[in-house]
Structure 1
Amino acid sequence: MKRLLLAGVAFSVATAASAADMPARPYAKAPAVVSPAYNWSGFYIGAMGGFGWGGSDSDGSGGFGGGTIGYNWQLPGSQFVFGVEVDAAGASIKDSVTEDIGGLLVTTENKINSFGSVTGRAGFAMDAALIYAKGGYAWANNKASISALGTTFSDSQSHSGYTIGGGLEYLFTPSWSAKAEYMYTSLGGETYNFGGFPLDSGTLDFHTIKVGVNYHFR
């Protein structure tokens, strides 16, 4: 019996020692989950509105509202975004001046009824945020009038020129973004006809600050 008991103890000790010498089972760490990077590529449409005011020769100001359509290109792995954008807005940016000309009170008024642009856009994306600059062709429809002695003459003309500026856009969901933008617009002069008397308007310059929201098709 003693021999059997000693043999059992010896077998148990040998088994424990053999198990202690075996290498530990390797531990595999779960792979980290990486969120996909934002990509700005694709078509988008949106609504925008804001406030505009005249250039150095005008104190006119007023509001506007309209829409936007565009397309962005962003190559995979790149933070640079390029695109084209078209926008148009109805507006009420007006300036009115009354002057005494030889004892005759004459009131002149200019009102931008609508404007728009076709621009190129270049930006730098930081995930959901996009800082960009843009510039290109711009147009505006302006109504000018002259009033004196109870009589008013008016005419409307479309001006064309350029616009330049920039802004910040942020994707608050994968498909929706909000933006804030400043633009300077300079348009060439046109000849207005006031009761048979032509008058050159000179350049039409104005500034705008706009905010908007865009929907991105994915």
Structure 2
Amino acid sequence: MKTILSASVVAMAMTMPVLATDIGLRSAYGVQDNPWSRPYIGLVGGVGSGDLTLSADDSFGNSISGSQTFGGLSGGIRLGYDHVVSENVLVGGRGELNLTNIASRNELSVGGTTIGTVEHNLDWLAVLGARIGMTDRNMLYYAHAGAAFGGVSSTIDGNDIPGLIDNPRLGYSVGIGAEYAIGEHATLVTEYSYTDFAKFDLYNEAGITVSDDLSFHRIVTGVNFRF
């Protein structure tokens, strides 16, 4: 009986790796047989929310400022390449381009009289960066960072404000995320990022400077197709 039991245990131990391979739940994918080391294209969409701080300064040292809530939706495409440098450590580079309606809306009043509704819109958002992560079975956990680019336009009652259309912005984006491999060529992704475009001068004439400072949080989900 002991001989039969021992033989059964050995047989089970030999077949477990094969079964694990079949269902895609190995403890760690190898460098050459994992779904991560390859280029990919992805589709993502999500929601963003943050603050837009407006400030005005004059040559006499006077200054006023105020903050507005900044939020909306975004959606876009990603291109990237990942490489597993050891059994579990992954590094990669990627770029993405999003269209957004992330915006702030506020009524502009002078002396108690409403002049109109001012809107500041983030029309598009692009990020070029890198990430580093750890794979665990079908999961990838990672941190990411990169340069962020955006175009902000301002309107009053839907009418463009001259000189404040598609102002290019430069900042940074950092965050964390996770991906789940649903097969060799597809992964589901959920990601958080914080983006900061820092202070930008909207107007600077006659000793008066009007600036804004835009930062926001964004949560996205999507799918990556690897090939």
In the superposition, the TM-score normalised over structure 2's length comes to: 0.73
The structure with higher relative contact order (CA 8 Å, sep 6+) is: 2
3-state secondary structure, aligned to 2:36: coil
**Within 1, Cα distance between the matches of 2:179 and 2:126?**
19
Alignment of 1:177-216 (within 5 A): 177-192=187-202, 200-216=210-226
- Stretch moving more, 35-44 or 67-76: 35-44
What's the CA shift for 1:116? Answer: 1.2
3-state secondary structure, aligned to 2:161: strand
| Residue in 2 that maps onto 1:97 | 106
What's the CA shift for 1:198? Answer: 7.8
Identity of matched residues, %: 27
User: 1:41 touches 1:74 (CA, 8 Å); kept in 2?
Assistant: yes
**Within 1, Cα distance between the matches of 2:220 and 2:120?**
21
| Residue in 1 that maps onto 2:36 | 40
| Residue in 2 that maps onto 1:153 | 161
| Residue in 2 that maps onto 1:21 | none
**Within 2, Cα distance between the matches of 1:48 and 1:197?**
44
In the superposition, the TM-score normalised over structure 1's length comes to: 0.76
What's the CA shift for 1:152? Answer: 6.3
What's the CA shift for 1:108? Answer: 2.3
Structure 1 residue ranges without an equivalent (≥5):
1-26
User: 2:35 touches 2:181 (CA, 8 Å); kept in 1?
Assistant: no
| Residue in 1 that maps onto 2:49 | 53
**Within 2, Cα distance between the matches of 1:198 and 1:153?**
18
What's the CA shift for 1:201? Answer: 2.9
User: 2:177 touches 2:192 (CA, 8 Å); kept in 1?
Assistant: yes
Please tell me whether Structure 1 or Structure 2 has the larger radius of gyration of its CA atoms.
1
State the aligned residue count. 187
Question: In the TM superposition, what whole-angstrom CA distance separates every residue of 1:43-86 from its partner, at most 9, and x where no partner exists?
Answer: 0101111111122733121111110001111035x211111111
CA spacing shift, 1:72–1:198, aligned 2, 3 Å: farther
> What's the Cα RMSD here?
2.8
Indicate which of 127, 131, 134 corresponds to 1:124. 134
**Within 2, Cα distance between the matches of 1:134 and 1:110?**
27
User: 2:154 touches 2:160 (CA, 8 Å); kept in 1?
Assistant: no
